[in-house]
Amino acid sequence: MAEKIVLATHNAGKIREFKSILEPLGYEAVSVHDVIADITEPEETGTTFAENALLKATYYMKATGLPCLADDSGIAADALGGRPGVYSARYAGPDCDDEANNQKLIADLAAFPPEQRTVHYICSLVLIWPDGRTVTAEGSCDGILRDFYAGQNGFGYDPLFYVPDKGKTMAELSMAEKNEISHRGKALKKLVEALS
């Protein structure tokens, strides 16, 4: 029987990406909401992606009693000193959506010429078991933030995140292409190597 791993997210895009990589390895990846329907989210008080991922993994592992995989990821703009960073999901405020976040980042980078709008997606993963065993991994992906949207496949900042090597935005890539080069894909590959 496949080992069940709880995914500490309700983001449908992330769940799809995790399942597409973990399930072929024989793991049953389930959203935390499939295990506990009504659970309060922990407050993300970490100052780094790694701290937030560990905080979430530990919280949901204790709540479910099952191994838990959490990620904390976001976008860092060089011209903005690494912002939004850990605040990527709530960059435009606590109750904002992807569109509001995208528009704020476009506005904040508007004063810089296109060649200075370099950005990086960063992902920290933590997989923790009830016995305390922990595996961590990190991945990153470089790009340029554009001020217009292209592509339908991604979520978050993907329609603006242009990957020069591919000549496409993250949202224009197929799931297979994205898993190959994305921050989450790279972090998951490292995690998989650590698991095998």
- If you search the block for the tokens 């991922």, which residue do you land on? 53
Instruction: Judge whether 52 is annotated as a binding position.
Output: no
Instruction: Judge whether 167 is annotated as a binding position.
Output: no
Instruction: Judge whether 34 is annotated as a binding position.
Output: no
Instruction: Judge whether 11 is annotated as a binding position.
Output: yes
3-state secondary structure of 180: helix
Instruction: Judge whether 184 is annotated as a binding position.
Output: yes
Instruction: Judge whether 149 is annotated as a binding position.
Output: no
Instruction: Judge whether 33 is annotated as a binding position.
Output: no
Beta strands, E only, 12-100? 27-31, 68-77
Question: Which residue type sits at 54?
Answer: L
3-state secondary structure of 93: coil
- Assess whether 97 carries a catalytic annotation: no
Question: Which residue type sits at 11?
Answer: N
Instruction: Judge whether 131 is annotated as a binding position.
Output: no
The 10 Å CB-count burial string (b at 16+, else e) for 145-177 is bbeeeebebbebbbbbbbbeeeebbbbbbeeeb
Written as six digits, the tokens of 142 are: 């470089």
Instruction: Judge whether 10 is annotated as a binding position.
Output: yes
Give me the catalytic one of 34, 38, 72, 131: 72
Rounded CA gap, 129 and 158, in Å? Answer: 31
Instruction: Judge whether 196 is annotated as a binding position.
Output: no
Annotated binding site for substrate: 9-14, 73, 155-158, 178, 183-184
- Catalytic residue ranges: 72
Residues contributing to the annotated binding site for Mg(2+)? 43, 72
Which residues line the annotated binding site? Answer: 9-14, 43, 72-73, 155-158, 178, 183-184
